[in-house]
Structure 1
Amino acid sequence: MKAISKFDLCVIGAGSGGLSVAAGAAQMGARVVLVEKGKMGGDCLNYGCVPSKALLSAAHKANNMQDGKEFGIKQNGLDINFRSVHNHVHDVIEGIAPHDSVERFEGLGVTVIKSKAKFMDARRVRAGSKIIMPRYTVIATGSSTALPDIPGLADIDYLTNETVFDLTRAPRHIVIIGGGPLGVEMAQALRRLGSEVTILEAKRLLPKSDHELAEVVSGQLRKEGIRVVEETNIIQISQRRGGAVIHIADGKSVRDIDATHVLVATGRRPNFDDLDLDKAGVLFSENGIEVDRRLRTTNKKVFAIGDVIGGTQQTHAAGYHAGIVIRNTLFRLPAKADLSVMPRAVYTNPEIAEVGLTESEASQIYTGVRSLKWSFDDNDRARAEREIEGLVKIIVSRRGKILGAGIAGKNAGDLITPWTLAMQEELNISSMASLISAYPTRSEASKRAAGSFYSPILHGKATRRLVRFLSFFG
């Protein structure tokens, strides 16, 4: 009989969430084993957040270098070396990789096993030649591309987020299937780096974002020459020499689109197929592993975090989950996750960032919902930078409770943070309206949007009568 290795925590998956649990627990004195069958750093470092933002940064830099006419700056042409862009992306990955490496984690005292993990029963996990019996197991195996059921897709050499960053030449014409965050980010990046780009979306662009905010990004993409085809159905994809032909039904017409490359960006599916969850008594569905608010599965000795539980599939969500798990497992505290205030962002230019409910979601739950808006067209900093696209949009109850916030515009991902804090601390809209913002900054737009909650009262007839009445008393 093989020896059984005992640990406090067995973490399956070395992506963002798993690494956060392993590092935090080990540094607090726990005995931790980390099992990973693929690359350390998971999807975020190797195929997701890091390479996509590095590619976007190169694309935005290219755009800025040819966009100076309004400032009185002339540029004599632009030379984009896509192989050098590819090298930049992978240099960024390599610069971060040591932080997520086996060596670093072994230095923290974590036992790292490079192997697949499978449950043997409710308590034991097999990893390679080892049998592990931990006090708690944490599943942090992430997600991967969900391939749509399109006839002919399997017959072509399509790209996903795991392969698109390996391109060393700019695609001549890339068709992106899916208009979610990954789809629109890659569309803008590749367009700004010289590719012809078409987005095919079955619904509308950025369907999970507030419609008004999504329109800001949609308008910018179209302005840059990206073809956006919404509410379309892909009938079939056919291989052709040098690329593919996508047969689509768009409204009442049927037409073909020629492409040299096809990128599938239609969403994510949780990774748990190889874990033998049934043997551990862990329930799951196609949407992810089922967890309670403490992130425990149906087996109370097994937790699951990050993309594998579905919902908000963002790196910062996995990091937040890690803290909840550590409090539950190491300190026996019944910590619960509050996912209602999880910010989400799309890193196009302009960006979109949101937290809480959208206007349509809030209207289905509450009565008397108000939408408070302030355009960056009326913000001095935005005008000085000549980037006035977008707005701040705050959703409040009739009494001023903040139900959600959304921003479309430059640096929206940073500007959403005060609204996330306001919702976490259950602050009223009055707190944001009285906030002092430095001038000139884009954050003033948030303050002005909040202040507009009181405009009907402050600028109404009753206030004017009161002011006139008080004037008689010197």
Structure 2
Amino acid sequence: MDRDGMFDIVAIGGGTAGLVTAAGSAGLGASVALIERDRLGGDCLWTGCVPSKALISSARVAHHFRDAAAHGLRPVRPTIEGADVLASVRAARAEIEPHDDPERFRAMGVDVVEGAARFVSPHEVEVDGRRIGARRFVIATGSRAAVPPIPGLEEAGYFTHAEAFDRDTIPASLAVVGGGPIGVELAQAFRRLGSDVTVVELLDRLMVREEPELGELLTSRLREEGIEVRTGHVVTRVDRAGDRRRVTIAAAGDAGGDNPAVAPETFEVDEVLVAAGRAPNTEDMGLDAAGVETAKGWVTVDSKLRTSRKHIFAAGDVIGGFLFTHVADHEARTVVQNALFPVRSNIDYGVIPWCTYTEPELAHVGLTEAQAVDRHGSAVSAHVYDIGNLDRAIAERAAMGRVKIIVGKGGRILGGHVLAPGAGTMIAEISLAMKAGVKLGTLASLVHPYPTMSEGVKRTADAYRRSTLTGWRKSAVDLALRVGRSMPP
């Protein structure tokens, strides 16, 4: 803080966007304060990325015990104690927690302030009676699980991902409201840990942001594992039934019960998990006092991540858009440059990969085929390779999945989609190619180690190359072959 009591930058919110902003700014020599009302680490550390992947790992081990016959081993029905599984999840989280420890940031020179911040003017916030001024602010308060207004839900009781990892039991039966990434990941994990699971999704398919054919393949896998999937349905009511919950669902087009020929359905479960979208954490922040505009609670920003007050920036989930930890990191890095230096840059969302950590994983970058055709027309083509044909997948007994790469004119990659073990790692190669302007045909000439899942990307590129051998190109190849046959050995 300088002599007039002003920090160079104050980050409000100790999740990924706030932590990266604070660490990056302090590393450049700026005076920084970081305000957090709960615990540093945010949703990612405490209730999201970290514990969910730990739970998924435990569930994968349990599944592989049961599936051991495929590997020539005697199947084992594991004994699953929910308290032990969830304790192991929290232990993994505790091992990562020091990365976000307040003392670590204080050692960087960051003034870590515990409490809820509220703007009292455009250049000042108040935290538990302390006034904190800054030349630049960054709003990085994140998001939380949105809870739909389902009649009876509050009274019957439910949990979200925020409570999923601090419990001590695996429910014997579970209704999951929502078929997006969070709902699908946890549905598979709880099923593999012994729950009878029903997923209810309003839309006509799960994972609606994904390439449809890959989403359908994943849905078939979930059903094979015993998950009941009810797409095109909405939960209309939840009631308490002793120690259980009675869930009423209806076809999405008849949620009001106007069609007497379509009777609502009911089923009972032990618990209800709500995974039906996100809501921004912007309440009680005094944004009006700061002159910061919002849209349905989400902070609005320009291409430089400035709010309606140009000295106040925002990053991470609170601005909507791509609600991912790695995007929050990307946005925070842009904010550090734009908040501290006179030369400012626009945020680049051109190549944003993401992954849903089911088994197999489902990864995505760029456009789906339908989106590409809509934007680029008849120049678009799609090239596919089935993971089931890949040597490594067969050897791993994991021969289920697909690579699909969408290209435009001249082989420019417009989108990539991978359903495979390790898809989250495989998508990085496609992302790099898109970022660097490398065309799909070039990936066919890139040497990949054998045997690996990443060969699936190369095989897809091979399919693209073969598809270009038409017209004069095919004639040239035929001519070259005839000349080659006539040459002496």
Tell me the equivalent position of 2:130.
130
Aligned to 1:229: 230
Instruction: Please report how far the alpha carbon of residue 447 of structure 1 lies from its aligned counterpart in structure 2 after TM superposition.
Output: 0.9
Between the aligned partners of 1:76 and 1:441, the Cα distance in structure 2 is 28
Distance change in 2, residues 1:366/1:457 (3 Å):
closer
1:354-381 deviation digits (Å, cap 9, x = unpaired): 1111111111111121111111111110
Matched, 1:255 2:262: no
Which secondary structure does the structure 2 equivalent of 1:366 belong to?
A: helix
Q: Is the 8 A contact 2:384 2:460 kept in 1?
A: yes
**What is the letter of the counterpart of residue 273 of structure 1?**
E
Displacement of 1:469 in angstroms is: 4.5
Does the 8 Å contact 1:4/1:131 carry over to 2?
no
Which residue of 421, 424, 437 maps to 2:448? 437
Say if 2:328 is the partner of 1:345. Answer: no
Secondary structure at 2:398's aligned position in 1?
coil
What displacement does 1:470 show? 5.1
Q: What's the CA shift for 1:113?
A: 1.1
**1:195-344 pair list within 5 angstroms:** 195-203=195-203, 204-250=205-251, 252-286=262-296, 288-344=298-354
**Cross-structure match for 1:468:** 482
Worse-superposed segment, 9-18 or 443-452: 443-452
Other structure's SS at 2:264 match:
strand
Structure 2 Cα separation of the partners of residues 309 and 109 of structure 1:
27
* Match of residue 109 from structure 1: 109
2-structure distance, mates of 1:253, 1:361: 36
- The aligned counterpart of 2:257 is none
Residue 465 (structure 1) shift: 4.1
Runs of 4+ in 1 over 4 A off after TM superposition: none
Aligned partners of 1:4 and 1:133 also within 8 Å: no
The residue matched to 1:163 in structure 2 has which SS? helix
Count of residues in correspondence between the two structures: 472
Structure 1 vs Structure 2: percent identity of aligned residues? 40
Measure how far apart 1:335 and its partner are: 2.0
- How far is the alpha carbon of 1:287 from its aligned partner? 6.2
CA deviation string 1:3-33 (max 9, x = no partner): 9741011000000111111112112211101
**Further displaced range: 400-409 or 163-172:** 163-172
The structure-2 alpha-carbon separation of the partners of 1:126 and 1:4, relative to structure 1 and needing over 3 Å to count, comes to farther
Partner AA of 2:211 in structure 1: D
The letter of the residue matching 1:424 is K
| Contact in 1 for aligned 2:14/2:141 (Cα 8 Å) | yes
Give the secondary-structure state (helix, strand or coil) at the position aligned to 2:302: coil
Structure 1 residues 341 and 457: CA distance shift in structure 2, 3 A: closer
The amino acid that maps onto 1:336 is N
Is the CA contact 2:65–2:77 (under 8 Å) kept in the aligned structure 1?
A: no
- Work out whether residues 282 and 297 of structure 2, in 8 Å CA contact, stay in contact via their aligned partners in 1: no
Residue 162 of structure 1 aligns to a residue whose secondary structure is helix
Contact 1:145–1:161 under 8 Å retained in 2: yes
Greater CA drift, 380-389 or 449-458: 449-458
1:113-169 superposed Cα distances (whole Å, 9 cap, x missing partner): 111111112222122222122111001100001111211122121101111112212
CA displacement 1:282-306 (0-9 Å, x = unmatched):
1111262111121111111011001
Hey, what's the Cα distance between the residues in 2 that align with 1:292 and 1:14?
22
Provide, for residues 273-327 of structure 1, a one-character-per-residue CA deviation record: whole Å limited to 9, x for no partner. Answer: 1212122121111262111121111111011001001011010011111111111
Equivalent position SS for 2:350: helix
The 1:372–1:287 alpha-carbon spacing in structure 2 relative to 1, beyond 3 Å, is farther
Report the equivalent of 1:141.
141
What is the CA–CA distance in structure 2 between the aligned matches of 1:45 and 1:119, rounded to whole Å? 27
The equivalences for 1:21-40 within 5 A come to: 21-40=21-40
Shift of 1:95: 1.2
Is the CA contact (8 Å cut-off) linking 2:218 and 2:360 kept in structure 1?
yes
Tell me, yes or no, if the aligned pair for 1:4 and 1:132 is still in contact at 8 Å. no
| Runs (5+) with no aligned partner, structure 2 | 253-261
Q: For residues 198 and 28 of structure 1, what CA distance do their matches in structure 2 show?
A: 50
What amino acid is the match of 1:282?
Answer: V
The answer (yes or no) to whether the contact 2:14–2:36 under 8 Å persists in 1 is yes
TM-score w.r.t. the length of structure 1 is: 0.96
Cα separation, 2, equivalents of 1:447 and 1:257: 47
The one-character-per-residue Cα deviations of 1:80-127 (angstroms, maximum 9, x if unpaired) are 121111111111111111221221111111111111111112222122
| Cα contact 1:269–1:286 (8 A) shared by 2 | no
Which TM-score applies when normalising by structure 2?
Answer: 0.93
Contact 1:86 1:166 in 2 (8 A): yes
Q: Residue 411 of structure 2: SS of its match in structure 1?
A: coil
1:403-457 residue CA offsets vs partner (Å, 9 max, x unmatched): 1101001000000001111111122222222211111111111011112222134
Q: Match for residue 153 of structure 1?
A: 153
**Which residue of structure 1 aligns with residue 42 of structure 2?**
42
The answer (yes or no) to whether the contact 1:11–1:34 under 8 Å persists in 2 is yes
CA distance in 1, matches of 2:209, 2:51: 23
Deviations 1:192-218 (A, max 9, x none): 111111100001111111111111211
